[in-house]
Amino acid sequence: AMAALRTLSLTQTSLAQTQRQVETGLKVAEPKDNPASFTIAQTMRGDIGALDAIEEGLTFGQATVSMANAGALQISNILIDINQKVTQAFNDGLDVAVLQEEVDALLAEITSVVGSSVFNGVNLIDGVSADLDVLTGLGGVTQTIAAQDLRLATLGLVGLDLTNPAAALAAVDGAEVIVGNVITTLGTAANRLDSQAEFTQLLTDKLKEGLGILVDANLAEASAELQALQTKEQLGIQSLSIANSRPQSILQLFQ
């Protein structure tokens, strides 16, 4: 009877462990399951959480740079229109005053675009905001996106006068060079952020995969083991019942 009870107790302990694996999906759910593996798993979970925070920072950086890129591209398109108007001013017979009015409206549009290229309070082309530091790696590694200045004064377009079309055209050409350099700088930064975001996602996936190998239970195996242990438990109960009934059979001999 004691042997049957001991066997039944061991079976029920194994059954409880297997049942927990099936319920939680984890073979290492708490420190007592496997202290070393649990400690490693906790460290990996911490790294995964940190990488999630990095992904959020990269997403913010990507959106901010994308907004600045969109503004710079729009300004480049406006400069193309201004270039056309300035070139028309070389033609005799055209009303320069009308052309000047159109150019002034386009210049005002540049100012509006610069002021509107804001994402979550950050404007990378207004010449006022600070550089943007984007968290890109564990341990506080950051990437700095240099702020740009596309205001009319920086572009050399303040007071653009079409009565001197040669000087105006030279100013517009210089502005186009400045805007082109800004587009190149912001585009390069956007590509770096995209690459870092892709790499961070890869790291996260690999860590999650490794964590799963370390702590996840094989549910198919655990389910089969659960059924086997349940059968074994039933047999153990029957064995204990038989063992306990034997002394009663002996007592009947003395009646």
Is-contact 69 183, C-beta < 8 A? yes
- Name the residue among 170, 168, 183 with its Cα closest to residue 125: 183
Find the range with the poorest average confidence among 68-72, 153-157, 215-219. Answer: 215-219
Return d(Cα 88, Cα 106) in angstroms, integer. 15
Query: Exposed, middle or buried by CB within 10 Å (0-12, 13-18, 19+), for 229?
Result: buried
255 band by pLDDT with thresholds 50, 70 and 90: low
Least confident segment among 63-72, 85-94, 146-155? 85-94
pLDDT tens digits, 121-137? 999 999 999 999 998 88
Count of other CB atoms within 10 angstroms of residue 208: 14
Kindly tell me the burial class for residue 26, based on how many C-beta atoms sit within 10 Å of its own C-beta (0-12, 13-18, 19 or more).
Answer: middle
Question: Are 143 and 64 within 8 A, CB to CB?
Answer: no
Exposed e or buried b per residue across 81-108, where buried means at least 16 C-beta atoms within 10 angstroms of its C-beta: ebbebbebbeeeeeebeebbebbeebbe
Percent of the chain residues past pLDDT 90, beyond the cut: 58
Which of 87, 45, 14 shows the shortest CA–CA distance to 207?
45
pLDDT of residue 215: 83
pLDDT at 83 (0 to 100): 95
Q: What is the pLDDT of residue 37?
A: 87
Tell me, what's the pLDDT at 152? 96
Predicted local distance difference test score (pLDDT) of residue 23:
66
Share of the chain above pLDDT 70, in %: 89
d(CA 220, CA 232): 19
pLDDT-derived band of residue 101, with 50, 70 and 90 as boundaries? very high
Phi-psi region at 161: left, alpha or beta (left = phi > 0; alpha = psi -120 to 50): beta
- The answer to whether residue 3 scores a pLDDT higher than 80 is no
Residue 5: both structure tokens together = 């009870």
User: Are 67 and 73 contacting, i.e. CB atoms less than 8 angstroms apart?
Assistant: no
| More confident position, 142 or 3 | 142
Tokens linked to 161: 């006068």
CA 187, 193, 197, 200: dihedral to nearest 10 degrees?
A: 150
Q: What pLDDT digit, counting tens, does each position of 204-254 carry?
A: 999 999 988 888 776 676 677 767 777 777 777 777 677 767 666 666 666
What's the confidence (pLDDT) of residue 250? Answer: 67
* CA 26 from centre of chain: 26
**Per-residue DSSP letter, 164:** S
Averaged pLDDT for residues 32-44 = 87
Average pLDDT score over the chain:
87
At 171-202, the pLDDT tens digits run: 999 999 999 999 999 999 999 999 999 999 99
> What's the whole-number mean pLDDT along residues 26-33?
77
